[in-house]
Each structure stands twice: as structure tokens, then as C-alpha cells.
């Protein structure tokens, strides 16, 4: 099979570098690496963990502008929900407990407002006009008291929806926190300590976006403490098992530790914190650094039984491996770099620094491995590890591809088609609370509140007139009232509130009537607005409308649904707004949860862009290395087939496309091609006109390093299954499984393609 020559791996530059590394520059290199590692390790050990979760939200100009405008006008929209459950909730003793907790929460620094049954107020007609009185009357036992409580709740349905469950056994306490992240963290810690120590006999459940963010930071810290040591244990055990040499264990672990220190140290020096996505950096760097070391160490083991100067033999072997290792590192880095096109900062950071880590790992490998191995005697024939079951499996694999190449290709393509059919079952969905395991307290508390009361998430909307005039006309509020009623009828909605709730209460009190309703005319409505402008409770009023009365807030509480359902809900609300409001109004969705919804909808386009960029860069790198369109075409098949298998697996197992799983395609294409490069590089060296013989030699010789490397990647990534986040678990396990699929393709599909292509060309030339 004619093959275009790749750049000569025996170039003078590489030879001179290797000679210096294991000669005069050996001690200098080792000391330089040690000093750099100690310096960067100091910072790596101090890497902070992000609490705000801000890097998980894209910062597009329009989206961020709307949210900034909302927070400037209405304040922080992130609230805590505290549920207190008791079978006799409305008895005086239970209400006394709720009042005590409410007062204690109010005194915590960082808490700006607490709303509960004990301090909620309603507007009623008094002897001197409208008066504010407690929603719940004085706590006196007896049937009359129960009737009074029930009547108060019936007359104030909006407050009732917010503060008590339908079965009247669960009370909600709504806690507003300051927007400052540090103060939020301190307030959350104080709230948890208060509930745990002073009210451990009370049946309470706590959730909300601020607590979810704090929980994420805690789980990231926990994962780092578990996953990193376990990765070392798993990878070390595998290396010891396959190499059965102390050097085969120690050398990869040393490279792993140095690569990790360098990458995380630089990450910290750049001022970044670990988040849900970049928490993957340590295990990913550890796994990928070991993979390169395996190929270099395997090359050293191939020197067993050879005679000559050990240093010259090492130089000769590593000179042959330099370009394949460089290009495998480069293609892996290119695949990771493609993630920087994502709109989510955390994904960009992961792509950039994992790519940096891969290249740093390559540099560390090439600096240390030849230098350290030059201290060791060459391996002896009696200790060669290429005899045994793995060797027998590789020989059988080579025999299968040589004798039945068409069968191998046909079966692999049929499986790929089956995988592609499963892609249609993948749903684009992000569900923050269901990203954590069901055993976590935050999950259990959220689900309890979801089933008891509902409305654990909120969508915010800002309503303005197109001419930016005041929203004080009866026609304006009548349209908004119809819109809210239509929104409340939508399935995922638990309730909504706006300024209309206050206006209706004012009107009821002024008219001394029982029903909540808007005034009958503009004159009465303007009088109510005059009352609002002189109200002493301006701080709470500003949560509903801006001082000029030109921007109205509509809060829509929704059940614990994923971003796909939430996006559909936003579309329905916008459609209802056009129908009920007309063209003279603008309704803008915003809020913390809405940003998650928007980002989730962009995942598909992000996946397509990053994958296309990754694939094009990887293919360009392969062509530069081999300078052959024929080899490029054949390298494409075994790298796309595993992706089809993985995509199908996601679809058949109902694994959603989320921030974590969306990274798989771009990352994996850079990893799967590594084995292909090593296989083709060895095939070129062995090819003498007979592709079957070259395939047999390459599969049995290079196949061992490819198998060990694939097992390292599989087990290394699989350790991510210990994570606390389901997207991280899916990313880790699916990436690991794809590595095994890539190994199968590189040992079966790629050699089968090489044989069939060579045979076809030979027949045509006769």
C-alpha cells in the first residue's frame, strides 16, 4: 500500500534535545522541574471553590443586561424557602413556633426580609380608612379561632398560595438574602446552624437557589477529596497489574502529580475558582498525563534484549515516539480547545485549561521520562511483559481483521447506524436540582416542598409600555390581570403575584367589600396609586414596581421542572402576553432560573460548533502528520463510529443533553484519535508492501500500549462516577466507555480499512 512519508522523526533537533536531556542537561532538567513543581504546588493547594455559580451562566449582552436591570430595580430574586410541617399547623402552639423562627431569622446578618404566616399582613377597612393588620388573628384556641384563620386565608389567596399548603399542614417561610455572595454564605451557614441546633425537633425543610449554590460548592470540595485519591489508587493498581514493575508504577504517578500541580497552580494564579465543570480538571489531567507516559514506557520496554549503548537506544526509540506523542497531545488539546466556543464561562475555562494541562503533561513527559529512565538498566528479556493473555488476544484480533476485514467493517457500520438512530431520543434538558443525587438533603428537601406546596423555582417578567408611560390606567391593569389569570392556568405554574395583588387588597379595603377586584374606573384607581406613593412600606413596594410606575414585575412560581419544560412555558407566556396585552406592551423574561433555561437551549448549537471545530482541527493535525488524504479518510471512520455508539447509548438510556454531557463529543474526538495516530505511525514504519503483515505486526506490538492506555482512560474517567453531580457522572462514564469503543475500532475497524483499501488498490493495478 503506497504511503506518503511523514516528517522524519529522526530529525536532528529531536535527537540533540534527547541527547541533552539524558546527558549534560539531566540534572539541570530535574532540578528545574522540581523547583517549578514546588512553586506551583503551593498555589494548587489553595485553589478556591466558586460559591456564586456565576461561571455556569452565559454572559450574553442582552440576557445579562435584562437581569442587571431587573436586579437594579427590584433587587435580588434569589430566595430561600423554609417549610415547617405539623399536623396541627394552625394551632396556637405551632404558630408560636413559626413566629419564633421568623424572629430569629430576621436577626441574622445578611437576611433582608422574612415573610411567614406570623408576620404577613393584609389590608382591611378600618375606622380611619385602610389599615394593615396581621393576616393571622391573635392566637386564641377554639373553633372560632380556626374559622377566623381559615377565613383570612380564603380572603387572601395569593398569600395563602405562598405561605401554606392546601392541606394546611405545611407552612412556608420566605427568606430574602442580600445580593452579596460572601454575606449570603455567612447567612446560610447561620440559618442552617440555627435550625439544626435550636429547632432539631421541628420538621423543617430548606431549599432555594442560594442554598443550591452553596451545596454545589460543598459537594465540589467533597468530590476533590474523594475522586483525586481514588483516581491515584485505581490508576496505580492498573499500572502495577499490567507492568509489574516498580518503575512502571512510580514513573506515571510522578508525571501525573507534576502535571496536576502545574495545571491547577496556573489556574489558581490566573484568579479562577473551581466550579461544577472545572472540578473535572484534576481527574482529566491525571488520566491524560498517564496515557502519554504509558506509550513512552512501553517504548522503553521494547528495548528488552537489544544490545548497545542504553542511552543511544533510548534516544533512538524516543525519537520514533516523539512525533506520535506530540500529535496525540496536540489533537487531544485541540479537541478540548474547541469547548472555548461555548457561551458558558465554566465550559470555556475547562476547555482552555484542560488543553493547557495536556500540553504541559506532554512537556513534563518528554523532559522527565527519558531522563529518569536513563538511570535504569535496560529491561531484560526474562522480564518482558508481552507474553500472556493480552498477547494472545491481540494475536487473535489481528487474525480476525486479516481474514475477515469486510465482516468487521460491516458489523461496525451496522452498530454505528443503530447508534445514530438513538440520537433522536436525546432530550436537551437541564434540571439543576435533579443534577444532585436523590440521597442529598437539598434534593430531598426540594422535592418535599415541591410536593407539599409547589413553586420551588421562579420565572421573572418585567412589563413596560412601548411608549414607556406609567402603568396606572385601568386598561393596563385589566390586561395584566387577564394575563396573570391565563398564566395561572398553565400546568407547571404554582401561582403568580404582582402589584395587582396589593391594588386589589387596597380596593377591597377602600370599598369595604369581601371580594378582591380592581376598581371600576380610572379615578378610583389613581386614588389607590396615590395611597401607594405615600405608603410607609416603600421598600416592599419597590419589589413589585419601580418608583415611576413604568416597570411592573410579574413573578411566576413554577414547579421543579427542567429547562426544556421551562423554555416551553416561557414561550407560552410570551404567546399569552401578545394575546392579552397587545402590541403596546413589552414583556421581558429574566431572572436567575431563566438564564439557566436560555443556556440550556443553546447547548445544541454549542455542541455542533465545538464538535465541528474540534473535528476540523483534529483532521488538520492528522493530515500534517501523515500528509496523506488516504490515511486521513481511513482515520475518520474509527473515530466517528465510537461517537455514534455513545450518542445512541445516551438516547437509549434517556440521558439528557446538559452542560456536562454536551462536552463529550468535542472532548472525545480529540482523545479517540490518539490511538489512531499511534497505530498509523507504527503501521507506516512496518509497511513494506504487504498490509496484512504490517497490520499483524502493528496490532500485536502497538496494540498492547493502546490497550493499556485505553484501560487507563476508561478507569480514570470512570472514577468520576463517584461525583455528586449526575452530569459529571454521565460525562465521566460515557467518555470512559467511548475510549473502550475507540480501542475496539482502532484494533479492528482501522486495520480492516487498511487491508481492504490496500487490496482494492492492488486489484485495480493488475
Query: Which residue did the predictor score with more confidence, 600 or 250?
Result: 250
Q: What is the pLDDT of residues 439-471, one digit of tens each?
A: 889 999 999 998 888 888 889 999 999 999 999
Query: The cell 377565613 sits on which residue?
Result: 151
The Cβ of residue 633 has, within 10 Å, a number of other Cβ atoms equal to 12
Give the mean pLDDT of 7-35: 80
Confidence of residue 104 (pLDDT cuts 50, 70, 90): very high
d(CA 527, CA 570): 34
The Cβ of residue 2 has, within 10 Å, a number of other Cβ atoms equal to 9
Distances in Å between the Cα of 80 and the Cα atoms of 72, 112, 115, 211 are 20, 12, 11, 7
- Maximum Cα interatomic distance, the chain, rounded to a whole number of Å: 111
| Crossing angle (nearest 10°) for helices 691-718 and 281-301 | 140
Confidence of residue 219 (pLDDT cuts 50, 70, 90): confident
Domains by residue range for the chain, with CATH = 78-214 (3.30.70), 442-599 (no CATH)
Query: Which residue did the predictor score with more confidence, 326 or 382?
Result: 326
Total residues found in the chain within this entry:
766
pLDDT at residue 461 in the model: 95
Provide the grid cell at 471: 402603568
**What number of helices (H) and strands (E) belong to the chain?**
27, 10
The Cβ of residue 631 has, within 10 Å, a number of other Cβ atoms equal to 25
Under the phi-then-psi rule, with left for phi > 0, alpha for psi from -120 to 50, and beta for the rest, what region is 208? Answer: left
What is the CA 62 to chain-centroid distance, rounded?
Answer: 23
| Crossing angle (nearest 10°) for helices 92-106 and 181-198 | 150
Cα angle: 351, vertex 353, 357; to 5 degrees: 115
Distances in Å between the Cα of 744 and the Cα atoms of 310, 411, 735 are 35, 12, 14
pLDDT at residue 143 in the model: 62
| Crossing angle (nearest 10°) for helices 474-488 and 563-581 | 150
Q: For the chain, how big is the Rg over CA atoms in Å? A: 33
Under the phi-then-psi rule, with left for phi > 0, alpha for psi from -120 to 50, and beta for the rest, what region is 198? Answer: alpha
Q: What percent of the chain has pLDDT over 70?
A: 94
pLDDT at residue 114 in the model: 93
Q: What is the rounded end-to-end Cα distance, in angstroms, of the chain?
A: 14
pLDDT at residue 5 in the model: 43
d(CA 116, CA 110): 18
What is the CA 146 to chain-centroid distance, rounded?
Answer: 49
d(CA 20, CA 28): 10
Confidence of residue 382 (pLDDT cuts 50, 70, 90): very low
Give the mean pLDDT of 19-35: 89
Confidence of residue 142 (pLDDT cuts 50, 70, 90): low
Tell me the whole-structure pTM to 2 decimals. 0.77
Residue 549 has pLDDT above 60, yes or no: yes
Residue 695 and residue 402 in contact, taking contact as beta carbons nearer than 8 Å: yes
d(CA 188, CA 357): 35
Cα angle: 484, vertex 485, 491; to 5 degrees: 100
For residue 123, report the phi and psi dihedrals to the nearest 5 degrees.
Answer: -95, 130
Give the mean pLDDT of 245-251: 90
Query: The cell 430548606 sits on which residue?
Result: 206
The Cβ of residue 100 has, within 10 Å, a number of other Cβ atoms equal to 14
Q: What is the pLDDT of residues 689-739, one digit of tens each?
A: 888 999 999 998 888 888 888 888 888 888 888 888 888 888 888 888 888
pLDDT at residue 509 in the model: 86
Amino acid at each position: 500500500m503506497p504511503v506518503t512519508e511523514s516528517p522524519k522523526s529522526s530529525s536532528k533537533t529531536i535527537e540533540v534535545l534527547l541527547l541533552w536531556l539524558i546527558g549534560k542537561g539531566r540534572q539541570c532538567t530535574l532540578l528545574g522541574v522540581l523547583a517549578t513543581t514546588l512553586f506551583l504546588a503551593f498555589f494548587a493547594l489553595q485553589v478556591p471553590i466558586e460559591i456564586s455559580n456565576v461561571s455556569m451562566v452565559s454572559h450574553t449582552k442582552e440576557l445579562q443586561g435584562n437581569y442587571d436591570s431587573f436586579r437594579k430595580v427590584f433587587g435580588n430574586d434569589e430566595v430561600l424557602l423554609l417549610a415547617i410541617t405539623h399536623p396541627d399547623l394552625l394551632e396556637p402552639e405551632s404558630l408560636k413556633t413559626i413566629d419564633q423562627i421568623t424572629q430569629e431569622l430576621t436577626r441574622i446578618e445578611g437576611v433582608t426580609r422574612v415573610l411567614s404566616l406570623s408576620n404577613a399582613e393584609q389590608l382591611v377597612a378600618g375606622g380611619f380608612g385602610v389599615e394593615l393588620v396581621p393576616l393571622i388573628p391573635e392566637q386564641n384556641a377554639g373553633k372560632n379561632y380556626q374559622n377566623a384563620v381559615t377565613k383570612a386565608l380564603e380572603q387572601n389567596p395569593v398569600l395563602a398560595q405562598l405561605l401554606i399548603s392546601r392541606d394546611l399542614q405545611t407552612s412556608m417561610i420566605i427568606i430574602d438574602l442580600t445580593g452579596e455572595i460572601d454575606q449570603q454564605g455567612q447567612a446560610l451557614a447561620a440559618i442552617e446552624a440555627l435550625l439544626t441546633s435550636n429547632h432539631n425537633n421541628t420538621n423543617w425543610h430548606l431549599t432555594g437557589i442560594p442554598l443550591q449554590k452553596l451545596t454545589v460548592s460543598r459537594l465540589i470540595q467533597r468530590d476533590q477529596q474523594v475522586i483525586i485519591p481514588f483516581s491515584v489508587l485505581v490508576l496505580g493498581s492498573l499500572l502495577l497489574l499490567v507492568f509489574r514493575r516498580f518503575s512502571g508504577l512510580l514513573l506515571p504517578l510522578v508525571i501525573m502529580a507534576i502535571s496536576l500541580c502545574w495545571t491547577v497552580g496556573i489556574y489558581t494564579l490566573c484568579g479562577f475558582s473551581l466550579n461544577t465543570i472545572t472540578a473535572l480538571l484534576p481527574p482529566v489531567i491525571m488520566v491524560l498525563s498517564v496515557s502519554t507516559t504509558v506509550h513512552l514506557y512501553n517504548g522503553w520496554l521494547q528495548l528488552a534484549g537489544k544490545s548497545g549503548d542504553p542511552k543511544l537506544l533510548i534516544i533512538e526509540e524516543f525519537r520514533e515516539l516523539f512525533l506520535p506523542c506530540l500529535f496525540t497531545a496536540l489533537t487531544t488539546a485541540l479537541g478540548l480547545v474547541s469547548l472555548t466556543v461555548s457561551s458558558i464561562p465554566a465550559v470555556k475555562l475547562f476547555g482552555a485549561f484542560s488543553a493547557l494541562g495536556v500540553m504541559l503533561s506532554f512537556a513534563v513527559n518528554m523532559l522527565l521520562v527519558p531522563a529518569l529512565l536513563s538511570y535504569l538498566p535496560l529491561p531484560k528479556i526474562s522480564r518482558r511483559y508481552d507474553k500472556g493473555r493480552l498477547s494472545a488476544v491481540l494475536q487473535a484480533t489481528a487474525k480476525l481483521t486479516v481474514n475477515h476485514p469486510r465482516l468487521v467493517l460491516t458489523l461496525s457500520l451496522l452498530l454505528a447506524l443503530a447508534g445514530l438512530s438513538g440520537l433522536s431520543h436525546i432530550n436537551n434538558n437541564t434540571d439543576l436540582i435533579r443534577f444532585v443525587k436523590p440521597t442529598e438533603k437539598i434534593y430531598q428537601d426540594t422535592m418535599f416542598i415541591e410536593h407539599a406546596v409547589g413553586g420551588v423555582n421562579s420565572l421573572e417578567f418585567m412589563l413596560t409600555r412601548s411608549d414607556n408611560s406609567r402603568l396606572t390606567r385601568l386598561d393596563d391593569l385589566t390586561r395584566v390581570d387577564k394575563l396573570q389569570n391565563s398564566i395561572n392556568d398553565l400546568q407547571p405554574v404554582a401561582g403568580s403575584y404582582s402589584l395587582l395583588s396589593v391594588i386589589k387588597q387596597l380596593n377591597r379595603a377602600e370599598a369595604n367589600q369581601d371580594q378582591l377586584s380592581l376598581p371600576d374606573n380610572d379615578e378610583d384607581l389613581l386614588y389607590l396609586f396615590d395611597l401607594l406613593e405615600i405608603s410607609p412600606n416603600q421598600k416592599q413596594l419597590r419589589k413589585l414596581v419601580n418608583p415611576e410606575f413604568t416597570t411592573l414585575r410579574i413573578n411566576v412560581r413554577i414547579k421543579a421542572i427542567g429547562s426544556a419544560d421551562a423554555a416551553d412555558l416561557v414561550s407560552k407566556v410570551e404567546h399569552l402576553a401578545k394575546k392579552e396585552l397587545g402590541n403596546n406592551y413589552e414583556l421581558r423574561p429574566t431572572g436567575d432560573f431563566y438564564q439557566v433555561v436560555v443556556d440550556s437551549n443553546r447547548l445544541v448549537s454549542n455542541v455542533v460548533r465545538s464538535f465541528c471545530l474540534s473535528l476540523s482541527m483534529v483532521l488538520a493535525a492528522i493530515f500534517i502528520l501523515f500528509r496523506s488524504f488516504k490515511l486521513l479518510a481511513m482515520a475518520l471512520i474509527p473515530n466517528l463510529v465510537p461517537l455514534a455508539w455513545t450518542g445512541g447509548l445516551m438516547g437509549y438510556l434517556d440521558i439528557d443533553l446538559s452542560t456536562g454531557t454536551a462536552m463529550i463529543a468535542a472532548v472525545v474526538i480529540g482523545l479517540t484519535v490518539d490511538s489512531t495516530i499511534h497505530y498509523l505511525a507504527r503501521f507506516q514504519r512496518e509497511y513494506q508492501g504487504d498490509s496484512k503483515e504490517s497490520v499483524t505486526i502493528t496490532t500485536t506490538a502497538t496494540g498492547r500500549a493502546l490497550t493499556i492506555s485505553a484501560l487507563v482512560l476508561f478507569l480514570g474517567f470512570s472514577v468520576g462516577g463517584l461525583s455528586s453531580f449526575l452530569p459529571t457522572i454521565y460525562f465521566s462514564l460515557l467518555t470512559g466507555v467511548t475510549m473502550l469503543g475507540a480501542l475496539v475500532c482502532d484494533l479492528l475497524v482501522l486495520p480492516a480499512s487498511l487491508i481492504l483499501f490496500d487490496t482494492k488498490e492492488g486489484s485495480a493495478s493488475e
